Homo-oligomer: A and B are copies of this chain.
Amino acid sequence: MRDELHESDTRSESPRSPGRRAFLRTGLAGAALAAGAAASVSRAAAEPTPVTEPLEIPEWTRTMGRPIPPEMYGMPSKYEVKVVRRRSDVFVNRQNWSDWSMSPLQYQHGIVTPNGVFFERHHAGTPSIDPERHRLVIHGMVKRPLVFTMSDLMRYPSVSRFHFLECSGNTLTDWTKAASTTVQQSHGLLSCAQWTGIPAAWLLDEAGLQPGASWVIFEGADGAVHTRSIPLQKVMDDALLAYGMNGEALREENGYPLRLLLPGWEGNVSVKWLRRIKVVDRPAFFRSETARYTDPLPGGKWRQFSFVMECKSVITYPSGGMKLPGPGLYEIRGFAWSGNGTITAVDVTVDGGRHWQPAVLEPPILDRCLTLFRYRWRWDGRPAKIASRAVDNTGYVQPTVEELSRVRAVTGFVQHHNGIFPWEIAPSGEVKNAVA
């Protein structure tokens, strides 16, 4: 373990840091020794070729490129067609009404999930709502019931905040045996955006709360009229009525023109296509609070209102479905997040959990937001089992599945799986889901 210790000692990520460059040379020296090659981290890590002849002049340098196209909303290169959402019906159902699709997390470079591949979940398809006709009503235990147009709402002061959004069902297929091939399949019900909107508390202050108000019902304008009951305290603390994501209007599949955003809580409570806010004195026990979105406990009881997405992490590179070209230096990368606050540490194991070493966290490290971690590793070509373990600022440590199963009944498709998730690397370089 000496090498990993040495490598992870270099914590600075600054390109101005001589320490980082010194590490590169150190890493290289060891690798060169092993390979008997000229001392170079690039030879060890990435195998660039010495220049022997001039570069080919490709056709794109000998010709004019594409002029600006008439449609002025751009799209990715045709060479990136594999970087798309994954629809659920390829492996679960084909009826498409209550459906979801998953973000290609293994290809996501920073903490921002592009809106074009942001995961989606709906219970009756995606409505196409005319913002001019959309209305939001606030009523129930308030002094002044109010109705807002979108123009009303967009004149209000607003805030913009980076937050992850995760479906409570994320990773539910992979508790005790490997079901998913890629991280998109196992963890792709997770995305991250900068959300813009109005704190719900500001509008509830306008409406005025009546004595005894303690819960709030949020209702969507979709065909499923998705509805959830939320404790008033959370709503007043940090609920956002969001109309913007990642710099533009919400996408239709993410709630256009208005959605609730409850930072750190399971995705389904952040009601999309929001049309109604009713202040009440107790939860309504909707179908999504009784038949769905509940968690079995060991004694045969079921837990309701398990809102918070607890601290979790996953390695996205290397991850299932990839193939490493051979022994050498690799940067293990992934995401960590916590619905209870900020990430304070991520540890990485390359030997199936026998030893753990600290990863480097990439700033900015934000509240209830994806945090990128990196860990440099020299793979010697032997079988390896890698995993990450995140810690948040409450002191909570991401648990193993075994630890989780002491307080939860793992029976079938159980939600809220935030356990440590392993990948196995074979001598061939192939990376596979290593859930036992």
Contacts and interface: CB of A to CB of B under 8 A. Distances in A.
A245 B246 CA distance: 13
A331 B156 contact: yes
Contact of A115 (B114, B196, B364): B114
A137 interface: yes
A383 to B, nearest CB: 20
Interface string A217-234: 000011101000000000
A333 to B, nearest CB: 8
Contacts of A436: none
A48 to B, nearest CB: 4
Contact of A101 (B72, B157, B201, B276): B72
A290 to B, nearest CB: 22
B116 A73 contact: yes
B67 A247 contact: no
Given A61-B275, A74-B118, 5 more contacts: A21-B201, A40-B144, A48-B147, A65-B127, A111-B247
Contact of A112 (B112, B117, B152): B112
A357 interface: no
A129 interface: yes
B109 A160 contact: yes
Interface in A60-107: 60-68, 71-80, 83-89, 96-97, 99, 101, 107
A144 B194 CA distance: 43
Nearest to A13: B159
Greatest chain B CB density within 10 A among A48, A112, A374 is at A48
Interface stretch (A29-37, A249-257, A281-289, A408-416): A249-257
Contacts of A237: 15-16
A380 interface: no
A426 interface: no
Assembly stoichiometry (copies): 2
B45 A249 contact: no
A406 interface: no
Contacts of A13: 159
Given A152-B42, A156-B46, A89 B68 contact: yes
Interface in A114-131: 114-118, 120, 122, 124-131
A50 B144 contact: yes
A330 interface: yes
A201 B15 contact: yes
A160 B362 contact: yes
A176 to B, nearest CB: 29
Contact of A83 (B77, B107, B139, B249): B249
B202 A15 contact: yes
Contacts of A65: 122, 124-128, 222-223
Interface string A336-365: 000000000000000000000000001010
